[in-house]
Chain A
Amino acid sequence: MRDKPLVALAIVVVLAAIAVGYAVGRRKAPPPPSPAAETTTAYSPADNAGAPPASGQIDAIRRGIPVDQEGEPPLMARVENTDVKRNRAYPMQPPTIPHSIDNYQIDRNSNRCLLCHARANADKFQAPPVSVTHYMDRDDQFLATISPRRYFCNQCHVVQTDAKPLVANNFKDIDTILSGQIDQPQQKAN
Chain B
Amino acid sequence: MGARIRSWLVAVWRTMRRPSVHYSLGFLVLGGFIAGVIFWGAFNTALEATNSEAFCTGCHEMRDNVFQELKATIHYTNRSGVRATCPDCHVPHRWTDKIARKMQASKEVWGKLFGTIDTREKFLDHRLELAEHEWARLKANDSLECRNCHNYASMDLTRQSARAAEIHKRWLGSGEKTCIDCHKGIAHHLPDMTGIPQG
Contact present for B190 and A103 (CB under 8 Å): no
**Closest residue to B167 on the A side, CB-wise?**
A125
Contact present for A124 and B163 (CB under 8 Å): no
B199 in the interface (beta carbon within 8 A): yes
**Closest residue to B192 on the A side, CB-wise?**
A109
Contact A99:B190 (CB < 8 A) given known A115-B198, A115-B199: no
A40 in the interface (beta carbon within 8 A): no
Inter-chain CA distance A83–B198, complex, in Å, is 22
> Chain A contact residues: over half helix, strand or loop, or mixed?
loop
Query: Residues 98-118 of chain A: 1 if any B CB is under 8 Å from the residue's CB, otherwise 0?
Result: 011011010111101001100
Contact present for A109 and B199 (CB under 8 Å): no
Query: Residues 139-157 of chain A: 1 if any B CB is under 8 Å from the residue's CB, otherwise 0?
Result: 0000000000000000000
Contact present for A103 and B163 (CB under 8 Å): no
Choice from A100, A103, A115, A124 contacting B72 with Cβ under 8 Å: A103
Contact present for A109 and B74 (CB under 8 Å): no
Contact present for A105 and B162 (CB under 8 Å): no
Inter-chain CA distance A108–B189, complex, in Å, is 11
**Closest residue to A112 on the B side, CB-wise?**
B185
Contact A99:B163 (CB < 8 A) given known A110-B185, A124-B199, A125-B199: yes
The interface size of chain B toward A, counting residues with CB under 8 Å, comes to 17
Smallest distance from the beta carbon of B72 to chain A beta carbons, Å?
7
B166 in the interface (beta carbon within 8 A): yes
B193 in the interface (beta carbon within 8 A): yes
Taking CB atoms and an 8 Å cut-off, the chain B residues in 7-39 that contact chain A are none
Contact A109:B161 (CB < 8 A) given known A103-B73, A103-B74, A121-B199: no
A110 / chain B contacts, CB cutoff of 8 Å: 185, 190, 192-193, 198
Most chain B CB neighbours (cut-off 10 Å) among A82, A102, A124: A124
B74 / chain A contacts, CB cutoff of 8 Å: 102-103
Contact present for B189 and A105 (CB under 8 Å): yes
Instruction: Please list the residues of chain B having a beta carbon within 8 angstroms of any beta carbon in chain A.
Output: 72-74, 161-163, 166-167, 171, 185, 189-193, 198-199
Instruction: Please list the residues of chain A having a beta carbon within 8 angstroms of any beta carbon in chain B.
Output: 81-83, 99-100, 102-103, 105, 107-110, 112, 115-116, 121, 124-126
